[in-house]
């Protein structure tokens, strides 16, 4: 006899919404803020037979599969075939990419058939873009965006929903409204701001700070202005990972006269000696030599290594490197009697390049595909223990230290879980499709008004 949806056991079952598979953790770029750029990082390609892994994912019936974690999937030979295998199995595929290199036409075709493409771009100023995304050129990114839309148009389609992911540091705050206008000119659909996880600065490169440390009130104004422009131009606009809360907390400190803000210049460089990297940086002119030192080839393939893994925040099971310090983003603490406002362990699975499987961006792996199938892992004892932790509010180290989610009462979380478990799958897919169609219609209307 089927168990009632709210029995304790039923509440611990997964309802996969999205599986993320890290096809490779290698990357062609060395973005200033990324864990990939930290000393000692070595990426690797997905362990095991990628086709068999993908078939295991399809069996779970997720609503979508994202084919990247850390690293750049489009530099993996065979990535087109992986995307095709999923699409032909009827699973919508999404990808986050730097789009930093020239693509062959079969790759553009594959990109144009994705359900959603998230493109990382922090600034529409070509010089700043190049300094942040070391090895990337805005001109190449723009050419790729046009080519993807053209590939879809050749089939009489518009192609994927394309969003910009802007990694939101103090260096890009002032240019945010212009970035939104640029996204509209490039026929994109959304702009999202990711909450910067600050890693130690790279000697000789620009200092990067969380905007809340520098000017929370000015940043809130810039975000509000960008939001207004996005609305006007018919683009969606998101802030992610607790960014709004971080800015509001810092803004409240400023209003109360308690804030200790950093007087940051946009041209500050991290001192050349790695030993001083964490002390107050000197202000120097960003000169041509520094620009030259930022150059990395966007097409260079980086040698994979069997014995090193990717870094958090993508949730690696292994340390970044023996001496690589942890990022300094603080956890949002959970008051007594509350729990994390998070249903990720019910809805998400991350397959890391080393075969490790975790259930959110921050927690360690619950097992490895070398030892069990994905279905066994997401239904297994470790996965259920994590869900019990959240439902009861007795948080372990990973959920206790999570910087990405706020708090909620255990009862409220249980209600959220019940709701997601009881929603019929076909209804979810139908509702999503309807919402997407309504958004597109609204966007077309707004753009036609804005053009008048």
Q: Which residues are near ligand SAM by CB under 6 A?
A: 27, 33-34, 68, 70-72, 96-98, 120, 165, 167, 194, 196-197, 199
Q: Which of 16, 27, 95, 208 binds ligand SF4 (CB under 6 A)?
A: 27
Residue 195 interacts with ligand SF4 (CB under 6 A): yes or no: no
Residue 46 interacts with ligand SF4 (CB under 6 A): yes or no: no
Burial grade of 137 (CB within 10 A; 0-12, 13-18, 19 or more): middle
Question: Phi-psi category of 338—alpha, beta or left, where left has phi over 0 and alpha has psi -120 to 50?
Answer: beta
User: Could you give the C-alpha distances from 180 to 144, 183, 189, in angstroms and in order?
Assistant: 18, 5, 10
CB closer to ligand SAM, 119 vs 374? 119
* Cα three-residue angle 59-111-109, rounded to 5 degrees: 110
Give residues with Cβ within 8 angstroms of 360, minimum separation 6.
315, 342, 344, 345, 348, 350, 402
Closest approach, Cβ 36 to ligand SF4, in A, equals 4
Closest approach, Cβ 297 to ligand SAM, in A, equals 15
Nearest one of 229, 241, 201, 203 to 406, comparing CA atoms: 241
Q: Which does 165 bind (CB under 5 to 8 A by kind): ligand SF4, ligand SAM, none?
A: ligand SAM
**Backbone φ, ψ for residue 206 (5° rounding):** -60, 140
CB closer to ligand SAM, 165 vs 220? 165
Cα(167)–Cα(61) distance, rounded to whole angstroms? 31
Q: Do the Cβ atoms of 353 and 76 come closer than 8 Å?
A: no
CB closer to ligand SF4, 227 vs 317? 317
Q: Which does 109 bind (CB under 5 to 8 A by kind): ligand SAM, ligand SF4, none?
A: none
Residue 36 interacts with ligand SF4 (CB under 6 A): yes or no: yes
CB closer to ligand SF4, 72 vs 246? 72
Q: Which does 30 bind (CB under 5 to 8 A by kind): ligand SAM, ligand SF4, none?
A: ligand SF4
CB closer to ligand SF4, 351 vs 386? 351
Burial grade of 143 (CB within 10 A; 0-12, 13-18, 19 or more): middle
Burial grade of 438 (CB within 10 A; 0-12, 13-18, 19 or more): exposed
Q: Which stretch binds ligand SF4 (CB under 6 A): 28-36, 337-345, 374-382, 422-430?
A: 28-36
CB closer to ligand SF4, 100 vs 402? 100
Query: If DSSP codes are grouped into helix, strand and coil, which group holds residue 435?
Result: helix
Q: Which stretch binds ligand SF4 (CB under 6 A): 24-32, 84-92, 192-200, 247-255?
A: 24-32
Handedness of CA 183, 186, 190, 193 (dihedral sign): negative
Closest approach, Cβ 438 to ligand SAM, in A, equals 27
Name which of residues 50 to 109 contact ligand SF4 (CB under 6 A): 70-72, 98
Cα(212)–Cα(245) distance, rounded to whole angstroms? 10
Cα(24)–Cα(73) distance, rounded to whole angstroms? 6
Q: Which does 428 bind (CB under 5 to 8 A by kind): ligand SAM, ligand SF4, none?
A: none
CB closer to ligand SF4, 141 vs 214? 141
User: Can you tell me which residue has the tokens 């992610």?
Assistant: 240
Closest approach, Cβ 381 to ligand SF4, in A, equals 32
Closest approach, Cβ 120 to ligand SF4, in A, equals 6
Tokens linked to 150: 């053209």
CB closer to ligand SAM, 163 vs 408? 163
Residue 170 interacts with ligand SF4 (CB under 6 A): yes or no: no
Name which of residues 130 to 159 contact ligand SF4 (CB under 6 A): 133
Q: Taking the CB of residue 388, how many other CB atoms lie within 10 A of it?
A: 14
CB closer to ligand SF4, 120 vs 220? 120
Helix (H) or strand (E) holding 392: helix 381-392
CB closer to ligand SF4, 29 vs 65? 29
Closest approach, Cβ 288 to ligand SAM, in A, equals 25
Residue 294 interacts with ligand SF4 (CB under 6 A): yes or no: no
Q: Which does 243 bind (CB under 5 to 8 A by kind): ligand SAM, ligand SF4, none?
A: none
Nearest one of 202, 190, 272, 280 to 238, comparing CA atoms: 190
- The binding track of 197-236 with respect to ligand SF4, each residue x by CB under 6 A or -, is ----------------------------------------
3-state secondary structure 64-106: EEECCCCCCHHHCCCHHHHHHHHHHCCCCEEEEECCCCCCCHH
Q: Which does 129 bind (CB under 5 to 8 A by kind): ligand SAM, ligand SF4, none?
A: none
**Backbone φ, ψ for residue 384 (5° rounding):** -70, -35
- Using CB under 6 A as the criterion, which residues of the chain lie in contact with ligand SF4 when the complex forms? 27, 29-31, 34, 36-37, 70-72, 98, 120, 133
């Amino acid at each position: 006899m089927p168990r009632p949806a709210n029995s304790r056991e039923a509440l611990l079952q997964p309802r996969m919404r999205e599986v993320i598979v890290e096809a490779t953790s290698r990357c062609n770029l060395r973005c200033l803020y990324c864990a990939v750029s930290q000393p000692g990082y070595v990426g690797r390609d997905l362990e095991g037979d990628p086709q068999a892994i993908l078939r295991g994912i399809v069996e779970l019936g997720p609503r979508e599969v994202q084919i990247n974690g850390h690293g750049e999937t489009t530099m993996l030979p065979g990535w087109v075939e992986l995307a095709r295998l999923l699409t032909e199995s009827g699973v919508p595929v999404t990808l986050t990419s730097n789009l930093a290199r020239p693509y062959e036409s079969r790759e553009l075709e594959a990109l144009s058939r994705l359900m959603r493409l998230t493109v990382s771009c922090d600034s529409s100023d070509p010089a700043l873009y190049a300094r942040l995304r070391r090895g990337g050129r805005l001109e190449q990114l723009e050419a790729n965006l046009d080519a993807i839309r053209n590939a879809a148009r050749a089939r009489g389609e518009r192609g994927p929903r394309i969003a910009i992911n802007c990694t939101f540091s103090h260096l890009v705050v002032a240019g945010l409204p212009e970035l939104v206008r640029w996204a509209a000119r490039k026929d994109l659909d959304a702009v999202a701001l990711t909450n910067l996880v600050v890693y130690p600065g790279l000697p000789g490169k620009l200092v990067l700070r969380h905007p809340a440390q520098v000017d929370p009130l000015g940043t809130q104004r810039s975000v509000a202005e960008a939001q207004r422009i996005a609305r006007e131009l018919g683009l969606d606009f998101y802030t992610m990972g607790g960014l709004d809360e971080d800015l509001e907390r810092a803004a409240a400190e400023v209003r109360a006269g308690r804030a200790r803000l950093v007087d940051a210049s946009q041209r500050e460089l991290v001192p050349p000696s790695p030993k001083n990297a964490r002390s107050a940086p000197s202000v120097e002119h960003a000169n041509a030599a520094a620009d030259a030192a930022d150059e990395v080839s966007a097409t260079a393939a980086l040698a994979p290594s069997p014995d090193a893994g990717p870094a958090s925040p993508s949730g690696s099971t292994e340390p970044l490197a023996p001496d690589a310090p942890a990022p300094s983003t603080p956890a949002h603490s959970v008051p007594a009697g509350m729990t994390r406002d998070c249903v990720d362990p019910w809805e998400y699975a991350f397959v890391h390049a080393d075969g490790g499987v975790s259930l959110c961006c921050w927690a360690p792996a619950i097992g490895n595909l070398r030892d069990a199938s994905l279905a066994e892992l997401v239904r297994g004892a470790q996965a259920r223990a994590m869900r019990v932790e959240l439902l009861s509010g007795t948080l372990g180290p990973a959920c206790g230290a999570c910087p990405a989610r706020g708090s909620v009462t255990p009862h409220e979380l249980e209600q959220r879980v019940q709701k997601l478990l009881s929603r019929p799958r076909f209804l979810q897919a139908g509702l999503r499709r309807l919402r997407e169609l309504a958004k597109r219609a609204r966007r077309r209307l707004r753009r036609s008004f804005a053009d008048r």
